Amino acid sequence: MIRVLVVDDDFMVARVHTGFVSRVDGFEVVGTSHTGAEAVQAAAILEPDLVLLDLYLPDRFGLDVLADLRIAGRECDVMVITAAKEADAVRGALRQGVVDYVLKPFGFEDLRERLERYAAQRDALTEAQVRGQEDIDRVLSRSGGASQAALPKGMSPQTAELVQTALREAQGNLSATETAELVGVSRVSARRYLEYFCSIGQAEVSLRYGSAGRPERRYRWGG
């Protein structure tokens, strides 16, 4: 069983999340906390495998709590569950190695899928014999890749991978129109994925000024 600590300042929300987790095979909730201080203390006592961590806590920002857990040597994984949509929060969470970033509100099926994906990758890492890069790539693919864990609702991991590949393989930079033609999606859709990668620091955007009209936005992989 994967032992889970639920951290949320709202008692009712924590109860709902606890109910969701309890319905997923292979997971059990071993405790709930409603402040950052409670979360750090509970992690020390309960030694959970996974922490579902809200960012908006009454005493501390959730990413500071995550830093405290790492400083204390806690080896638990962390899945951020929050209403925080700010790019800085997403980037900060990814830098600290969260396994997923889930925006509130969400339904049971969404969380179930993410928990099962996490469990599959966790099992693969436990059993893996790493002989080279291919073995590592095979394990990471179980979760769809780190950059896809925080995809906003309505965005497809498959399309995100295609856009990412187009940018990586481009000679120089690409516009949304050029990306759309390479990937086979609309320009509006391509731009949404491109802007997303920029927001989490995986791509950069620059402006190309022409003789007239608005400047063209050009995208390049690499933050």
pLDDT tens string 23-65? 999 999 999 999 999 999 999 999 999 999 999 999 999 999 9
The CATH number that applies at residue 68 is: 3.40.50.2300
Confidence of residue 145 (pLDDT cuts 50, 70, 90): very low
Structure tokens at 56: 């908006």
How many structural domains does the chain have?
2
Residue with tokens 């969701």: 20
Same domain, residue pair 58 and 122: yes
Residues 148, 96, 163: CA angle, nearest 5 degrees: 20
Confidence of residue 155 (pLDDT cuts 50, 70, 90): confident
Same domain, residue pair 114 and 182: no
Same domain, residue pair 93 and 199: no
Confidence of residue 141 (pLDDT cuts 50, 70, 90): low
Q: Cis peptide before 215, with omega less than 30 degrees from 0?
A: no
Same domain, residue pair 123 and 189: no
Sheet arrangement for strand 100-103: 27-33, 2-7, 50-53, 77-82, 100-103
Same domain, residue pair 114 and 198: no
The CATH number that applies at residue 165 is: 1.10.10.10
**What gap in Å lies between CA 94 and CA 97, rounded to an integer?**
5
Question: Roughly how many angstroms between the first and final C-alpha of the chain, as a whole number?
Answer: 38
Same domain, residue pair 57 and 117: yes
Same domain, residue pair 141 and 161: no
Residue with tokens 């949404």: 192
Q: Cβ contacts of residue 80 below 8 Å, gap of 6+?
A: 53, 54, 55, 62, 93, 98, 100, 101, 102
Q: Among residues 145, 177, 209, which one ends one of the domains?
A: 145
Q: What is the pLDDT of residues 158-191, one digit of tens each?
A: 788 889 888 988 888 999 999 999 988 899 999 9
What pLDDT score was predicted for residue 144?
Answer: 45
Q: What are phi and psi of 47, to 5 degrees?
A: 50, 60
Residue with tokens 């900060």: 92
Same domain, residue pair 141 and 61: yes
Is 152 a domain residue? no
Q: Cβ contacts of residue 153 below 8 Å, gap of 6+?
A: 103
Same domain, residue pair 14 and 108: yes
- Domain range for 48: 2-145
Residue type for 87, please? A
DSSP state letter for 22 = H
Same domain, residue pair 138 and 166: no
